[in-house]
Structures are given as structure tokens and as C-alpha cells.
Amino acid sequence: MPLLAVRDLTIALPVGGRMVTIIDSVSFTLGAREILGIVGESGSGKSMTALALMGLIDAPGARITGSARFKGRELVGLPQRAFRDLRGREIAMIFQDPMTAFTPVYTVGWQIDEQIRAHGRVTRKDARARTIRLLGDMGVPDPARVADRYPHQLSGGLRQRAMIAMALSCNPSLLIADEPTTALDVTVQAQILDLLRRLRREYGSSVLLITHDMGVVAETCDRTMVLYSGIIAERGPTGAVFARPGHPYTAALLDSIPPLHGARPARLPSIPGSPPAPADRPAGCPFTPRCAYAHDACAVRPPLLPRGVQDIACVLPAEGRDLPARCATV
């Protein structure tokens, strides 16, 4: 049994008097010690998926349907009281900007202690000892001193390490990381990604990594799921998705990243237009208006169908017109 099995998760929010589907029938599984990357551009619904799994969507009138089984327990429709018990202990989350994600008026040690003491009968002294050990494990130099510092007194890298320490403080089986390195400098980002890869070995946590950065996914995730406008475009093992993208959106997204090595293209292959707002999503395949391969068959939304090790929501594989493989340039 997988740690997390999401089936047909659909989230709709009332916008201007009518329900708008933000996430449409998203399904995926996450195994033990696995890192799954959810990539997408802004408005793809990737963060909304994470918040739904945490039970943190509290917009009035939000409608969540489908199923999300965590260790066999249904999360959709779970009452807040039961969710509170899971949050922080079984499912933990780290956020994009560690500066604003800590309460500014308490020391980071206090905030980590608070989480430890919220989920078990632990004395203040024992909680602090665990906090300091965790900070040390996260590669924080002089953890006892850092625990007594306020968030604004720490560098971005240290703050994010403290945030990860807090998330791991109750040994969660699932860690959701929402753009954990976007606010960080590139050398610090490399350190944090290194840390995330190590976590699975040392803490045995599964990680759901949400990001817009294809590079971060390639470096970190076992499997990848590409979201476009609230719909899964493609999912599969990361190596396969990057070597043989099956959906034109994945391929175009990879192409539009300027290469760091090899020849410089005279022009970057770019995707025309911009992603649709959820309310204006086309009826068929949502990528049709921007797709170089768009044709009549795209007017009907294609189901997610297996193709090799991947699952692809596109009519091309069924028509026998697979996209060309990408040559990995290093």
C-alpha cells in the first residue's frame, strides 16, 4: 500500500458567483521514502493540491471531492480536529519564504519547541534538547545559539534549515515542500536540495516537492508530475519524463529553459501566449491554444493514458506520433 494515494482530487472555489474548478481530477501515489515532484507554472494548482492534503483550504464555499488516502485513512472530508492531529506529526510542510513563514516575535527554538510539545507530553527541557539536535542534524552550525535567535537575525539558508528542522521535529512520514528553495540564493539552494535528498535516507520521510523549476525536479525527484492549468499533463519517473517528454507542454517547457552548457540557441524556443486562468480554461485539452501540435482531436479533453513508464494526457501517442526524445546536453 502506498503512503499516499490520491484519486480524482478535484477542488472548486466560488469565484464571482460561480464555482471554478482549480484542480481537476488529479491522481497520483507516493510510496515510502519516495520524492515526488509536482511542477507547474503559477496558476497550475500545485500549491492548492498541497494545501488540500494539509486540510488548510479554508476559503468559504470551497468544494473538495475525490479521495486522498494517507496510510489508508481518507483525508478528503476529514474533520479539522482529526486533521490537526495529523498536521505537524504525520504530515509536515515547509514553505517558500522562510522569512515570513516564522512568527517574527518568537525565537526559532521556541517555535520548534512549540510544535514538539503540541504533539506529545514533552518537558520544556527535553523539547529544547531535541530542537538543538534537529538543528544540528540540518547542518546548522552552533545549533544551541541559533535556537535562541529570532527569524530576522538568521540568513535565508539558516532560516530554511530551521524550517525543515521544525517540519521534521515529530518524525512525519510525509513532508510537503512548497517551493522550498525559490527565495534562496543558488548556492544555498544547492545546499537545501542536498539536505532534502539526505532526509529520505536519515529520516525515512517521503517528500512531495512542489516547484516551478524543472532543474530542481531533475536534481531531486524520483518521479515527476507536470500540472498545467489544474490538470495533469504528464507523470512518470523523472529520468523518463526529462529524456522523452510525452506531452508537448513538458517538451516546450524544457525547451524554453536557456541551456547552461553547449551551444547558445539564437532564439529560445518559447511557448506563445500565457496559461489560462482557471475560469477561462478551454473545454478540451487546456494547452491547445498554445500547442504547436494542436489539431481537431484536441477539442476533447484527452484522458491520462499509460505510454511506456509514463502516463500522458495527450492524443499524440494514441495517434502514433510520439514526440522526439531530447538529447541530454551536459
Partner 1 sequence: MTAPLIEAQSLRMEYRVGRGQVLRALDGVSLAVRPGEVLGLVGESGCGKSTLGRCLLRLARPTAGRVVFDGTDITALPERTLRPLRQGMQMVFQDSYASLNPRRRIGDLIAEPLRVHRDGQGRRRTAADIAARLAELMDLVGLPQAALARYPHEFSGGQRQRINIARALALSPRLVVADEPVSALDVSIQAQIVNLFMDLRDRLGLTYVFVAHDLAVVRQISTRVAVMYLGAIVELGDADTVLHRPAHPYTAALIAAVPEPVVLPDGDRAPPLRGDVPSPIAPPPGCRFHTRCPSAQDRCRTDPPALRDPGDGRQVACHFPLTGG
Partner 2 sequence: MAMAILRRLGQTLFVLVGISVLVFLVFFATPGADPTARIAGRNASPQTVARVRVEYGFDRPLPVQYIRMMEKLFVTRDLTSYVNRGEKVVPEVFQAAPVTVSLVTGAAVIWVLASVAMGTLAAALRGGWVDRGLMMLGLVGISIPVFWLGQVANLLTQSRYHDSWLFSWVPGLGYVPFMQDPLGWFRALVIPWFTLAVLFIGIYSRVLRADLVAVRGEDFMRTARAKGLSPARVLLFHGLRTSMITFVSLFGLDFAQLVGGGALLTEVVFGLQGVGRLTYQALGNLDLPLIMATVMYSAVFVVIANAVVDMLYLLLDPRVRDGRA
Q: 297, exposed or middle or buried, with CB in 10 Å at 0-12, 13-18, 19+? A: middle
* Residue number with CB closer to partner 2 (103 or 270): 103
Q: Write out the DSSP string of 314-328.
A: -STGGGT-PPPPPPP
Which of partner 1, partner 2, none sits in contact with 97, Cβ below 5 to 8 A by type?
Answer: partner 2
Which of partner 2, partner 1, none sits in contact with 118, Cβ below 5 to 8 A by type?
Answer: partner 2
Q: Which of 60, 272, 320, 324 binds partner 1 (CB under 8 A)?
A: 272
185-199: b or e for each residue (b if 16 or more CB lie within 10 Å)?
eeebbebbbebbeeb
Q: Does 105 sit near partner 2 (CB under 8 A)?
A: yes
Q: 207, exposed or middle or buried, with CB in 10 Å at 0-12, 13-18, 19+? A: buried
Q: Could you give the residue ranges of the DSSP H alpha helices within the chain? A: 46-54, 80-86, 98-101, 108-118, 124-137, 143-147, 156-168, 186-203, 214-220, 238-243, 248-255
Of the candidates 86, 89, 93, the one whose C-alpha atom is nearest the C-alpha of residue 164 is 93
Q: Which of 88, 236, 276, 286 binds partner 2 (CB under 8 A)?
A: 88
Q: Which of 270, 295, 306, 319 binds partner 1 (CB under 8 A)?
A: 270
Binding segment for partner 2 among 21-29, 112-120, 139-147, 290-298 (CB under 8 A)? Answer: 112-120
Q: Which of 21, 115, 229, 250 binds partner 2 (CB under 8 A)?
A: 115
Closest approach of partner 1 to the CB of residue 292, in Å: 13
* Residue number with CB closer to partner 1 (2 or 156): 156
Measure CA 198 to chain center.
18
Specify the residue for cell string 478528503: 76
* Residue number with CB closer to partner 1 (1 or 327): 327
Closest approach of partner 1 to the CB of residue 247, in Å: 13
* Residue number with CB closer to partner 2 (45 or 88): 88
Closest approach of partner 1 to the CB of residue 187, in Å: 4
On whether the CB atoms of residues 269 and 253 are closer than 8 A, the answer is: no
Binding residues for partner 1 restricted to 246-265, rule: CB under 8 A: 252-254, 256-261, 264-265
Binding residues for partner 1, rule: CB under 8 A, are: 41-42, 155-158, 185-191, 193-194, 197, 212-220, 238-239, 242-243, 252-254, 256-261, 264-265, 267-272, 274-275, 290, 328-330
